[in-house]
Structure formats: structure tokens, C-alpha cells
Structure 1
Amino acid sequence: MVDEALLRELDRYIKRHYIEDKFLAEGQLSRSVDFDKLQLELQERLNENRQSLAEYIQEWIKKKGMSESDVRNGSMLSRNIFSKIRNNREYHPEKRTVFAIALALHLSYDEAREFMSFMGYTFSNMLKEDIIVGFCFERNKYDITDVNEMLNRNGFNVLGSGLNQKEL
């Protein structure tokens, strides 16, 4: 069970980091884009030989001195999802699956951001779920049961087991 003090700290963290949609509607967040530069960078990226998801995860497993079963069990994901990762080079997991794997790898917040980026995701201050999971990385709270309790208390679906049927 998650400590009440940690839950209060989470509430304060959400209040500090959450950006409501009203800022976008009011045009307060904007940026200019150099589309020619982006197109060139995109072409360069598409031409690169990219590391597969399975290779990338294996790298992290090795760095952290873990086994695949440690990560699979710690993420509460099915063997089928790990089989897809291992065998289907085109497989792209959902963000919530990536969260679960990153937590199971016990990544620091910066490592988790790098991991998420490789997978094509980021932590967003506009999504409370992302803020909650980011909070857990910052506090080194990797037990998915505790993370799921915090998500559930804030009205979000759990990570791990809740994904298995959806992603298969």
C-alpha cells in the first residue's frame, strides 16, 4: 500500500507540473518551425540503420544487470508482448507498455526520458498520467503495484496486466 505522505507529495507534484489545455487554447504556447530543416533531418533519420526495439531493450537489461524475465515480471506484461518485441521488428508498443518496461528496468528519470524517446514517446506535462509516472521515476518508485495504485487513485487505468488483451 502506498504511504499517505507519498500520495500527498504526488498531489503537490501534479499541481506544480500539470499544464492545463487552456494555455494552448489561449495561444500562450507557440513555436516556429523550420520545415526545410525538419525535412532534411527526417530524411537523414529514415536513411539510418536503426536499432530494433528488442536490441535496445536487451542493451538496457544488460546495463542494469537484469534478465528478460526480471523485466517481464516487473512490468506485469505477458510473454506474448515480449515475444512480439523479440520477433516483430515493426512492432511498436503503446506508451503505457513502454512505461511498464521502463519501470521494470529501474531507470532514473533521465534514463526513462531517453528510453521513452527511443520508442517515440515523451513525458508530457499536459497529461496527468505522464506526470504521475514521471513522479515515480524521480522518486525511484519502481514497484508497478504502487505505481498502479497511484494511477488508479487519480482515475487512470493500471499499467501492465491491463494492457495484455488490448495489445495482442
Structure 2
Amino acid sequence: MDERLLAELAAYIAAHYEVERGKLRHFRIDDLRTITGPRTPSIDLLGAINGLLSKMEDSFSERLLYLIERTGRKPAEIYTKAGVTKAHFSKIRTDKHYHPTKETALAFAIALHLSLADAQDLLRRAGYTLSHSSESDLIVEFFLVQRKYNVDLVNICLDHYGHKPLTNRRGSAAVE
């Protein structure tokens, strides 16, 4: 393991790590009911929901396929670099509502050589984000910011800090 890389990673974590403040506020469904009655949604509420649904963005799967196409690389090259099997990728490709784990989404972000902003966008479409209150997220963010796009190397560093890898694949950690 490259000691300089580990030192840079440790400095990045120290500079960006934030302890979560406060607690999540929990809402009850009663808090969201309108004056119109306990179980009858108002027409305005349905209209608002329909308006929001009409503005839905591409799903994770749709965005991933677009990003792969945009690179001009073969899908097999991308999913192999991400440590995803052909069968797993087939599920993603055929189900536009496929919901990946955060780790799978991050592995694809690295395999696609995405910028931090594009990686955050892809994660958001799967319902996730990178958080500065998560050491494992900071490790992945470090690699995105430094443009070190090697899933195996990310996995080695995650393991070094006691976190689970993005993928179960074991391969060469050679830097690209």
C-alpha cells in the first residue's frame, strides 16, 4: 500500500469529517393531513402530487445507462471495472426502477470516472448522498476528488479503515 496515498487520505478525512449534529425529526402522517378531513385528500394535494410526478427525473438505471453510453465504452468494461457481474448488470439494465445498494452506485461512479458532482447526482437518483459524517463516504469522496478511479484501491483503503468494500471483487490495486 502506498504510504503517501494513505497519508493524503488521512489528511482529507481529518479536514472534512463532521460529527452529525442533532437528530432527525420524525413526522406522523397526522401532521400532513389537510383540513379537508382525516382520510380524504384534497384535490389541491392530488394536483400537487401529480405536478411533482410529472417532473420526475431519470431513475438510477436510466441515468447509469446514459452515462455508460456517453463514455463510448462498452457496458461490459464499465460493469467489470465496477466489480459487478453480468447477471447483476442485466437486472439493472432491464429494470428501470432497480434500486442499487449505495456501494454499487459508488462503484459505478468510480468505474465511470465521474466528477464529484456527477457522482452525487447518480447517488441521488438511487436515494443516497455522500456525507461528511461518514468516514467511508469521505474515503470514496477522496478518490473522486483526486480522480483516482480504481475500485480495487478504494476497497483496499476502505478495508484499511475498517469499512466494508464497495464490491466483493478482489483484483489488482494497480493505479490507472
TM-score (norm 1): 0.78
Call closer, same or farther: CA 1:122–1:157 in 2, change over 3 Å: same
SS at match of 1:120: coil
Call closer, same or farther: CA 1:142–1:94 in 2, change over 3 Å: same
Call closer, same or farther: CA 1:110–1:48 in 2, change over 3 Å: closer
Q: State the structure with bigger RCO (CA 8 A, min sep 6), 1 or 2.
A: 1
Aligned-partner Cα distance in 1 for 2:14–2:47: 39
Aligned-partner Cα distance in 2 for 1:18–1:92: 27
Higher relative helix content? 1
The higher radius of gyration belongs to 2
Which whole-Å deviations, capped at 9, do the CAs of 1:86-128 have from their partners, x for residues lacking one? 1223320111110011111011112111221222211101111
Aligned-partner Cα distance in 1 for 2:130–2:152: 20
Aligned-partner Cα distance in 2 for 1:45–1:130: 30
Q: Is the 8 A contact 1:78 1:161 kept in 2?
A: no
Equivalent pairs counted in the alignment come to: 150
| Farther-moved stretch of structure 1 (101-110 vs 56-65) | 56-65
Aligned position for 2:22: 24
Q: Is the 8 A contact 1:132 1:151 kept in 2?
A: yes
Aligned-partner Cα distance in 2 for 1:41–1:121: 24
Q: Is the 8 A contact 2:155 2:165 kept in 1?
A: yes
* Pairing of 1:19-98 with structure 2 (within 5 A): 19-21=18-20, 23-24=21-22, 44-48=51-55, 50-98=57-105
Which whole-Å deviations, capped at 9, do the CAs of 1:4-55 have from their partners, x for residues lacking one? 111101111111111124x336x9xxxxxxx89xx98765333345434333
| Farther-moved stretch of structure 1 (40-49 vs 79-88) | 40-49
Call closer, same or farther: CA 1:4–1:83 in 2, change over 3 Å: same
In the alignment, structure 2 segments of 5+ residues that lack a partner are: 25-31, 35-45, 170-176
Equivalent of 1:155 in 145, 151, 162: 162
Call closer, same or farther: CA 1:4–1:48 in 2, change over 3 Å: same
Q: Please, what is the CA RMSD of the aligned residues?
A: 2.5
Q: Does 1:117 align with 2:121?
A: no
In the alignment, structure 1 segments of 5+ residues that lack a partner are: 28-34, 163-168
Q: Is the 8 A contact 2:58 2:125 kept in 1?
A: no
